[in-house]
Chains A and B, each alone.
Chain A
Amino acid sequence: MRRVRRFCTALLLCLPLAATADEVQVAVAANFTAPMQKIAADFARDTGHRAVLAFGATGKFYAQIRNGAPFEVLLAADEQTPARLQEEGLGVPGRRFTYAVGRLALWSPRAGYIDPEGRVLADGDFRHLALANPKTAPYGAAALQALEHLGLRARLQSRFVQGENIAQAHQFVASGNAELGFVALSQVFEQGRVTHGSAWIVPAGQHRPIRQDALLLRRGEHNPAAQALLDYLQGDNARALIRTYGYQVE
């Protein structure tokens, strides 16, 4: 019993150490996974601070943050969620900015399956078209807008399969269960080109711009690492890196 108590005390003593000031807890929208892993590595190298990353759906992060999740920075997949958090007093005033403008791509792991104009949407005999849930994921909403623009929404609706977030939509396509799907360009794009398979990069005019905002949350207000990360995201190195994944930067 005494040993157990001593162990627990030791564990409790470790807790404050684990949360030292040069660590920052970041909630990252699923589409920004690949670039953020690189940015976090560069950030650690350049500043000595460590960014601890959690990836997921922006809507889920919103619910978690409102209910006390220990995130200090949010990199959302939209601009509405950070704005809402700020209105609700959970963000630090003046510390919200657009870190990336996302692009949508129609993608298949099969080379040559998708033509450069995306005509496969109208002519293809695919059974399943994957997209992220339009109700909760900005990339899903953008996919619907693009389909509406093309006049194909009603015709293709019965072939939709929805991922919980854009990472799952990508997984449905990558595993071959859906022949093609709308994904974030950043998921299939590196160094200025599509990494494998075939893709149609949806013209930016066919959907509302996917402006992705970063927000410093109240919990990170006095954490120098959180402040540093936001500054780092606006720096030249990070901006150039973000661009190589197909995002636009303002």
Chain B
Amino acid sequence: MIFDSADLAAIWLTVKLASVTTVLLLLLGTPLAWWLARTRSTWRGPIGAVVALPLVLPPTVLGFYLLVAMGPNGFIGQLTQALGLGTLPFSFAGLVVGSLLYSMPFVVQPLQNAFAAIGERPLEAAATLRAGPWDSFFHVALPLARPGFVTASILGFAHTVGEFGVVLMIGGNIPEKTRVVSVQIYDHVEAMEYAQAHWLAGGMLLFSFLVLLMLYGSRFRQGWQG
């Protein structure tokens, strides 16, 4: 076996984290992207900028603020403690919160672009056929935006798999809870276990390439819709 049990636990944890994050981001990101694509509010600029922040912020900034904010004296920590949940750092839930922020632009932006590309006409046509706003959203907008959802899911999942800095700063390296593949690779390298590091790192490289191939391969067939 090329992967030991700690490696396998890290792989499973990573898949779980990326899946939970992607599903939650699709649920939370869809209304947000819809709003961003269609609103004329003055808040559009500021909110759009906040969504894009994780693209440019170093993970250390995000990780540091999360560690402080989610700690016992931070505002998120105060809230979670008041709800009886304890504090979030060093827990799977904490990693999910971190990943939601970290991967948000990778889900929201493709959705926003897809919604914007639909334009007003199909929705106006639906309205003249007496479709209500919910009806036209689910039966007109969502199907038309399907390529955007595919792109958003793939990018959200892959980007969460590739997360490192934030997890390192708020995770605490706990097996089966917060030790994801990228951290496990880092540990192997630091412990000079280069052979094990190679297997995991090579696996990551292959995975990332295949994901992007899937994305770009389908885009060449369909044209750029993201």
Chain A interface (Cβ within 8 Å of chain B)? 57, 59-60, 62-63, 127-128, 130, 133, 135-136, 160-164, 168, 171-172, 175-178
Contacts and interface: CB of A to CB of B under 8 A. Distances in A.
Interface stretch (B8-16, B82-90, B133-141): B82-90
The range of chain B's interface size is 20 to 34
Given A160-B174, A161-B172, A177 B190 contact: no
A133 B190 contact: yes
Given A128-B90, A164-B168, A176-B71, A136 B173 contact: no
A63 B189 contact: yes
Given A128-B172, A161-B173, A162-B174, A177 B191 contact: no
Interface in B51-94: 67-68, 70-73, 86-87, 89-90
B2 interface: no
Interface of B (DSSP majority class): loop
Contacts of A62: 192
B68 A162 contact: no
B71 A175 contact: yes
Nearest to B94: A177
B71 A177 contact: yes
A172 B63 CA distance: 12
B190 A136 contact: yes
Nearest to A57: B190
7 contacts: A57-B190, A59-B191, A136-B187, A162-B172, A163-B173, A164-B186, A178-B172
Interface string B153-178: 00000000000000011001110000
A171 B63 CA distance: 12
Interface of B: 67-68, 70-73, 86-87, 89-90, 168-169, 172-174, 186-187, 189-192
Nearest 3 pairs of A and B residues by beta carbon: A161-B172, A59-B190, A162-B173
Contacts, number: 58
Nearest to A136: B190
Contacts of B67: 171, 175, 177
Contacts of A60: 189-190
Contacts of B190: 57, 59-60, 63, 133, 135-136, 164
B187 A135 contact: yes
Contact of B68 (A63, A127, A175): A175
Contact of A127 (B70, B86, B174, B192): B86
A177 B66 CA distance: 11
Contact of A63 (B87, B174, B187, B192): B192
B187 A130 contact: no
B90 A177 contact: yes
B172 A130 contact: yes
Contacts of B189: 59-60, 63
A159 to B, nearest CB: 9
Nearest to A58: B190
Given A59-B191, A161-B172, A177-B71, 17 more contacts: A57-B190, A59-B190, A62-B192, A63-B189, A63-B190, A127-B86, A130-B172, A135-B190, A136-B191, A160-B174, A161-B174, A162-B173, A163-B172, A168-B169, A175-B67, A175-B71, A177-B67
Among B68, B90, B168, find the residue whose CB has the most chain A CB atoms closer than 10 A. Answer: B90
Nearest to B186: A164
Nearest to A128: B90
Given A176-B71, A177-B67, A59 B172 contact: no
B172 A133 contact: no
Nearest to A160: B174
A5 B71 CA distance: 51
A133 to B, nearest CB: 6
B72 A177 contact: yes
B187 A133 contact: yes
A176 B191 contact: no
Contacts of B86: 127
